[in-house]
Amino acid sequence: MPNAKVLESKKAIVDALADKMQNATSVVFVDYKGITVAQDTELRNKFREAGVEYSVVKNTLTRFAANKIGYSDFDEILNGTTAMASTTDDPIAPARIVSEFAKKNKNVLKIKGGLVEGKPQSVENLAAFGELPSKNALIAQVLGTFLAPISSLAFVLDQIRIQKDPNAAPAEEAAE
């Protein structure tokens, strides 16, 4: 029987992991076997820039934490070398960073599974999420789509104004 101090320490770790998984918008479990120190440092920097927490986890404690919050789906994948990337911000960021890094570094990382918005996801789904652009890039694309018709309308109206008054300068020149 483990000593009471060790047992309390492990319970605290399980509680912290369970809390982290429950509050995260996205959690990705990764097999990091074969990664070099330089690659690991580069990966951690990318995660840090994106606001993603990344740490190596003990499978047994993580399994207990997942089961505690009702995710028994991870019992099969929590073996071997396992790291956990989680975020409370952009739910696609962990999967995207892992996917990009794996492509660039000859598949040293492999996604094992994870959660997005509280729902367990397969490796295929997480890999597909990894192909999506970031949240900010998607917002910029949508705004660009909204802006295109407005810009076209402004151009057409300006051309009509110039056509009616041949001496009128185009709007860009008039603004200067």
Residue 130 is which amino acid? Answer: G
**Which two structure tokens, joined as six digits, stand for 51?**
């606001």
**What pLDDT, on a 0 to 100 scale, did the predictor assign at position 30?**
93
**What pLDDT, on a 0 to 100 scale, did the predictor assign at position 146?**
78
Q: Helices 4-23 and 59-68, interaxial angle, to 10°?
A: 60
**Does residue 118 come out as left (phi exceeding 0), alpha (psi in the -120 to 50 range) or beta?**
left
Chain segment 89-134, per-residue pLDDT in tens: 888 889 999 988 988 887 788 889 999 888 888 888 888 877 777 6
* Residues constituting the chain: 176
Write the DSSP assignment of 70-116 as a string of letters. Answer: T-GGGGTT--SS-EEEEESS-TTHHHHHHHHHHHHTTT--EEEEEEE
**Burial environment of residue 41 by CB neighbours within 10 A (0 to 12, 13 to 18, 19 or more):** exposed
Greatest CA separation for the chain: 94
Q: How many CB atoms lie within 10 A of CB 39?
A: 17
The pTM score is 0.72
The answer on pLDDT for 165 being more than 90 is no
Chain segment 78-91, per-residue pLDDT in tens: 989 999 999 998 88
Considering only 20-29, 56-65, 150-159, which range has the smallest mean pLDDT?
Answer: 150-159
Mean pLDDT over 162-170 rounds to 75
**Does residue 119 come out as left (phi exceeding 0), alpha (psi in the -120 to 50 range) or beta?**
beta
Instruction: Measure the N-to-C terminal CA separation of the chain; round to a whole number of Å.
Output: 81
Top-confidence residue, 19 or 147: 19
Task: Using only the alpha carbons of the chain, give its radius of gyration.
Answer: 24
